[in-house]
Chain A
Amino acid sequence: MANWVLKGLRTGIKTTSYPQQLETAQGTSPGRPCGMVLESTEKAEDLVARCPTQAIAGQDGGVAVDIRRCIHCSRCRSDSDEPAVPWDASYEWATYNSDAAAAVQALEKVFGRSLHIRFVDAGACSACVSEARQLNNPYYNMHRLGFFMTPTPRNADILLVSGPVSDAMRHPLGKAYDAMPEPKRVVAIGACAIFGGVFGSSFAAAGGASKIVPVDVVVPGCPPPPLAILHGLLLVVGRKPPSQPVSPVTEPIGEPA
């Protein structure tokens, strides 16, 4: 056993400095597509048509991108000379689900700085589950921020939901929510939990967590990287501001018009 202690000590500290500083290591996030100025409407229409989930919308003079509908399929970026939108390397994507943000914010203080989390997999593809699981690994270590998993919904402050809510999971999800004491919050992680993702609403899936339980915070991404989920949790306790989910029509930074 002494070997293991030594091994652990030798490995040193690997934990990210987020949220004190932004994480700059490569590969922590797939990044997100951004809105851009386009000179022709044909190019805008082409981009809108290439997006399978209507995350890209044509607007005056270009396209805007809503990260909440993005599934990172990369079809709006291209290695050839087709029109492509720029992608940044961000991950702070979490935002309030509704415009009643003021009411949500007023309640943030009741949680203090700590949260107990109940996770319900409502039909996720398991990439969301895998990314959430990374929060326990030494790189992200959510415990240092006062976030803990709880074995019972009775002790839970927030319900973390992934997946489009498959038909058989609608009752377990609803029951988990009902069993939680007030005040409580629901955080939907991933495109599927936000709007159904590639599965949509069908005979087998509700098409989003908000069809079953009231969702307060959404964490976009397919899957949202661990840092994005962390941002969502920090948003719930009021330690980080929400993101701007729609990237407007703007000039790409560093590129001439």
Chain B
Amino acid sequence: MATLDQIAKPAAQSENFPELYRRVWNRPVSVANVGKAAVYRVDCEPQELTQLWQWLIQDFDFAFATLIVEEEPNGGRSLTYVLYRQPSQWVYVDLRLGPEATAVPSVVGLTHGPSADWHEREAEDLFGITFAGHPRLGEFVLHEDWPEGVNPMRGNLDARQPPVHRDPDAKWQPPMVVEALGAFAMPVGPVFSDFAESAHFLLETVGEDVIRTIPRLFYKYRGVEKIAEGEAVDCALLLAERFSGTAAFAHGLGFCQAVEAICGIEVPPRARALRTMFAELERLRHHAAAITGICNSTALAVAASQAALIEETLLRLTCEVARHRYLFGAIKPGGLACDLTEVARGRLAAAVESVAQKLYELHGMLRYSSSFLDRLEEVGIIKTDDARSYGLVGPIARAAGIDHDFRKQFPYAAYESIKFTVPVEQDGDGYARLRVFFREAEQSTSILRQILSALPEGSVCAADIVWRAGAALSAVEAPLGAAFHWLRILDDGTVARYRITPPSFTNWHGFHLAAENFAFQDFPIILSSFGLSNAECDR
């Protein structure tokens, strides 16, 4: 086996990956082409994992996407680390654990290791796998009254039985890091005084300023991945749409694309165009809601009302053209459940212009409201290096200088034939995120315009589906960033394993970076400028 420094980095990046892998690791690599993307699959022994990780991340500039754990019939488990890089390359690193084995080396301490941090913690809770060297396992998805040693994703747990609880440890203390005279922790949540999603935050403070924030999530864990197992694809689609209602179409699309990849279904051109259209309509509405949230948190009432009017206008418009305000039931494997009528198309085209104009005016006014900007600028900063190390995605990463968007770099639906830019800002603060929301919304209106002016004719759904057993990964750019849907189905069309890696899961992990050393009154602003969904994270 060659060591890391035997291969110079520039050479490694330009060379053919599979060939180099064979040469360095002296092992086979399977190569498959999925559309325009190349998928390399390699096997890995647990003791080699850290070295391979370092090689892929450092020398090849791969980024970590997700960790997929599956239970095998003999009680063993397989772990697949999925990494990607541009242009269009995926690496699946397969690692097998026998029925008795429980430990895998942790990659958290390595380059960009933090991006896998929460994945390891989640796998420890749900599958009982120990990641040797991880600084903090346990107490993550499952809270303090969940019994030790019961791992819900394992086959021996019946999903439809009620949970068994234990008495929480009376000596349990929340983790506190700040040690200073007069330091104390202020708990916030999980119930808030407004219409807010459940989550808990521990603000560590010495009186005036908050030094550190420890978010505690998964109050909304509904075990979606577990209860999807054994369900027919039709029923699992309901879960895919409804685990995160404000990004229902994006996740429905992620799920359906995985089904289509497994069963070899060709989606008709009109359905591809309409899927793109609905996805952008959802993004537009989502970003309008995020802007409303930011205006609200700064108590700029008129701006919040203006943004809320835009949001409600888009909700009504969505309902008119797709029968549901949040696009539930619009998508199905093979295409779409409903077509766009000519009347709806005209209605949509006119409304998009009006919304674009209103957003433009609102942005124009906000830019010159100094009291508003004072609240956002240099608040909740995410540094580019941190964003990369944590593998952050979506508007938050793009506001921190990372030019990455799955619509552009791994195009799906009809994105390849659409002209659009990916807005990137460098500052990484609350204002940069607001600008990204506005600029992305503007791009969405431009995409909608292009699609509405050249909608292909034809059917909106492929013919009946013939089920095939198999597994596939689908990546979509949800409103909040990259979402990965891993699906394994059996030949009768039932789900064997469904793994969702939503952008809110990835980005909540980086929230603490932005919530350090700030004044108390800035907390709602940092929260709203992230605009994350707990339902999407918790599943």
Chain A residues in the interface with B (C-beta under 8 A): 1, 3-5, 7-8, 11, 14, 25-30, 52, 71-75, 79, 118-139, 149-152, 163-164, 166-169, 172, 176, 197-206, 222-223, 225
Query: Given that A198-B239, A198-B242, A201-B160 are contacting pairs, would A125 and B325 also be in contact in the complex, using a CB cutoff of 8 Å?
Result: no
Report Cα–Cα, A73/B328, bound state, in Å.
6
22 contacts between A and B (CB under 8 A): A1-B369, A3-B368, A8-B305, A8-B306, A26-B319, A71-B328, A73-B329, A74-B324, A123-B198, A126-B536, A134-B308, A134-B312, A136-B195, A138-B309, A139-B308, A166-B538, A167-B221, A198-B238, A198-B242, A202-B223, A204-B227, A222-B242
Contact of A164 among B222, B315, B371, B536 (CB under 8 A): B222
Asked whether, in the complex, the Cβ of B369 is within 8 Å of the Cβ of A201, the reply is no
In chain B, positions 445-503 with a C-beta closer than 8 Å to chain A are none
Query: Given that A150-B193, A166-B219, A176-B191 are contacting pairs, would A127 and B319 also be in contact in the complex, using a CB cutoff of 8 Å?
Result: no
Report Cα–Cα, A121/B161, bound state, in Å.
23
Task: Say if the beta carbon of B326 comes within 8 Å of chain A.
Answer: yes
Asked whether, in the complex, the Cβ of A4 is within 8 Å of the Cβ of B365, the reply is yes
Q: Identify which of B196, B218, B219, B325 gathers the most chain A CB atoms within 10 Å of its CB.
A: B325
Query: Given that A7-B365, A74-B338, A167-B163 are contacting pairs, would A129 and B222 also be in contact in the complex, using a CB cutoff of 8 Å?
Result: no
Report Cα–Cα, A227/B152, bound state, in Å.
39
Query: Which residues of the partner chain B approach A133 to less than 8 Å between Cβ atoms?
Result: 195
Asked whether, in the complex, the Cβ of B226 is within 8 Å of the Cβ of A120, the reply is no
Asked whether, in the complex, the Cβ of B316 is within 8 Å of the Cβ of A28, the reply is yes
In chain B, positions 208-223 with a C-beta closer than 8 Å to chain A are 218-223
Asked whether, in the complex, the Cβ of A203 is within 8 Å of the Cβ of B535, the reply is no
New contact pairs (19) apart from A79-B339, A129-B197, A139-B309, CB-CB < 8 Å: A3-B365, A4-B369, A5-B302, A27-B319, A74-B328, A75-B337, A122-B198, A125-B248, A126-B197, A126-B533, A130-B246, A134-B315, A136-B308, A152-B193, A168-B219, A172-B219, A198-B239, A202-B159, A205-B223
Smallest CB-CB separation from A3: which chain B residue? Answer: B365
Task: Say if the beta carbon of B243 comes within 8 Å of chain A.
Answer: yes
Query: Given that A166-B219, A172-B198 are contacting pairs, would A203 and B300 also be in contact in the complex, using a CB cutoff of 8 Å?
Result: no
Asked whether, in the complex, the Cβ of A4 is within 8 Å of the Cβ of B319, the reply is no
Smallest CB-CB separation from B243: which chain A residue? Answer: A125
In chain B, positions 196-251 with a C-beta closer than 8 Å to chain A are 196-198, 218-224, 226-227, 234-235, 238-239, 242-246, 248
Where chain B touches its partner, the secondary structure class is: loop
B218 to A: closest C-beta gap in Å: 7
Report Cα–Cα, A90/B338, bound state, in Å.
21
Asked whether, in the complex, the Cβ of B157 is within 8 Å of the Cβ of A203, the reply is yes
Which 5 residue pairs of A and B lie closest in terms of their CB atoms, listed nearest first? A127-B245, A27-B316, A151-B193, A204-B223, A137-B308
Asked whether, in the complex, the Cβ of B328 is within 8 Å of the Cβ of A202, the reply is no
Q: Identify which of A26, A71, A128, A168 gathers the most chain B CB atoms within 10 Å of its CB.
A: A168
Chain B residues in the interface with A (C-beta under 8 A): 143, 146, 152, 157-163, 190-191, 193-198, 218-224, 226-227, 234-235, 238-239, 242-246, 248, 289, 292, 300, 302-303, 305-306, 308-309, 311-312, 315-320, 323-326, 328-329, 337-339, 365, 368-369, 371, 533-536, 538
B137 to A: closest C-beta gap in Å: 18
Query: Which residues of the partner chain B approach A11 to less than 8 Å between Cβ atoms?
Result: 305-306, 309
Smallest CB-CB separation from B364: which chain A residue? Answer: A3
Contact of B196 among A29, A121, A225 (CB under 8 A): A121
B363 to A: closest C-beta gap in Å: 13
Query: Given that A149-B195, A151-B193 are contacting pairs, would A203 and B163 also be in contact in the complex, using a CB cutoff of 8 Å?
Result: yes
Report Cα–Cα, A14/B369, bound state, in Å.
24
Asked whether, in the complex, the Cβ of A169 is within 8 Å of the Cβ of B190, the reply is yes
Report Cα–Cα, A166/B537, bound state, in Å.
14
Query: Which residues of the partner chain B approach A134 to less than 8 Å between Cβ atoms?
Result: 308, 311-312, 315
Report Cα–Cα, A225/B326, bound state, in Å.
10
Where chain A touches its partner, the secondary structure class is: loop
Report Cα–Cα, A154/B386, bound state, in Å.
42
Query: Which residues of the partner chain A approach B323 to less than 8 Å between Cβ atoms?
Result: 30, 74
Asked whether, in the complex, the Cβ of B198 is within 8 Å of the Cβ of A121, the reply is yes
Asked whether, in the complex, the Cβ of B227 is within 8 Å of the Cβ of A126, the reply is no
Asked whether, in the complex, the Cβ of B328 is within 8 Å of the Cβ of A204, the reply is no
Asked whether, in the complex, the Cβ of B242 is within 8 Å of the Cβ of A71, the reply is yes
Asked whether, in the complex, the Cβ of A168 is within 8 Å of the Cβ of B218, the reply is yes
Smallest CB-CB separation from B217: which chain A residue? Answer: A168
Contact of A124 among B152, B324, B535 (CB under 8 A): B535
Asked whether, in the complex, the Cβ of A14 is within 8 Å of the Cβ of B309, the reply is yes
A150 to B: closest C-beta gap in Å: 7
Query: Which residues of the partner chain A approach B339 to less than 8 Å between Cβ atoms?
Result: 79
Report Cα–Cα, A136/B309, bound state, in Å.
11
Asked whether, in the complex, the Cβ of B326 is within 8 Å of the Cβ of A223, the reply is yes
Report Cα–Cα, A152/B365, bound state, in Å.
35
A204 to B: closest C-beta gap in Å: 3
B314 to A: closest C-beta gap in Å: 9
Query: Given that A27-B315, A28-B316, A127-B245 are contacting pairs, would A119 and B309 also be in contact in the complex, using a CB cutoff of 8 Å?
Result: no
Asked whether, in the complex, the Cβ of A129 is within 8 Å of the Cβ of B196, the reply is yes
Query: Given that A27-B316, A138-B308 are contacting pairs, would A225 and B325 also be in contact in the complex, using a CB cutoff of 8 Å?
Result: yes
Asked whether, in the complex, the Cβ of B325 is within 8 Å of the Cβ of A166, the reply is no
Asked whether, in the complex, the Cβ of B305 is within 8 Å of the Cβ of A137, the reply is yes
Asked whether, in the complex, the Cβ of A123 is within 8 Å of the Cβ of B191, the reply is no
Query: Given that A14-B309, A30-B323 are contacting pairs, would A121 and B197 also be in contact in the complex, using a CB cutoff of 8 Å?
Result: yes
Query: Which residues of the partner chain B approach A4 to less than 8 Å between Cβ atoms?
Result: 300, 302-303, 365, 369
Query: Which residues of the partner chain B approach A225 to less than 8 Å between Cβ atoms?
Result: 325
Contact of B161 among A1, A139, A198, A203 (CB under 8 A): A203
Asked whether, in the complex, the Cβ of B190 is within 8 Å of the Cβ of A172, the reply is yes
A193 to B: closest C-beta gap in Å: 13
